């Protein structure tokens, strides 16, 4: 079965810590069952997530996320085959309230749309090295 890495961005709707904790709890349980690993970078103005695992499981998870009303403006940034996982021991690593990527002003001005696939992958590489 082929391994893929999928990265998307979205704008949170109704972001608060209880919502985030619930998302992470459900994601970790479901991802463990579906052999999905990855990371979620979450701020009040941005969800940026990498999902990695078997193609059918990751694709199905992305479709569920795309239809979730807690996510606005879901944008697929990357979906590619991978030889190894960046987050092999994390069913969903969370990186709450980090601001070293982009400021709120940069997000509002379209930083995610302007970023290349490699720019965004570098964000996750940096996060995985801090794991």
String of DSSP letters for 89-131: T-SSEEEET--SS--HHHHHTTHHHHS-HHHHHHHHHHHHHT-
Q: Residue 114's beta-bridge partner residues?
A: none
Mean pLDDT along residues 16-35: 88
Does the pLDDT value for residue 131 go beyond 60? no
Q: What is the rounded average pLDDT for all residues in the chain?
A: 88
3-state secondary structure of 75: strand
pLDDT digits 0-9 by tens, 32-83: 999 999 999 888 788 899 999 999 999 999 999 999 888 889 999 999 999 9
**In order of start, what are the domains of the chain with their CATH numbers?**
3-129 (3.30.70.100)
Query: Is 0.85 topped by the overall pTM?
Result: yes
Q: 79: buried, middle or exposed (CB in 10 Å: 19+, 13-18, 0-12)?
A: middle
């Amino acid at each position: 079965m082929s391994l893929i890495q999928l990265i998307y961005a979205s704008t949170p709707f109704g972001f608060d810590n209880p919502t985030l904790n619930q998302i992470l709890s459900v994601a970790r349980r479901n991802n463990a069952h579906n052999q999905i690993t990855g990371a979620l970078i979450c701020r009040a103005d941005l969800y940026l997530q990498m999902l990695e695992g078997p193609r059918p499981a990751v694709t199905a998870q992305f479709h569920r996320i795309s239809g979730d009303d807690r996510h606005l403006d879901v944008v697929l940034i990357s979906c590619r085959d991978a030889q190894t996982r960046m987050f092999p021991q994390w069913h969903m690593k969370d990186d709450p309230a980090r601001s070293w990527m982009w400021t709120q002003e940069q997000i509002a001005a379209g930083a995610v749309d302007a970023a290349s696939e490699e720019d965004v992958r570098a964000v996750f590489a940096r996060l995985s090295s801090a794991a």
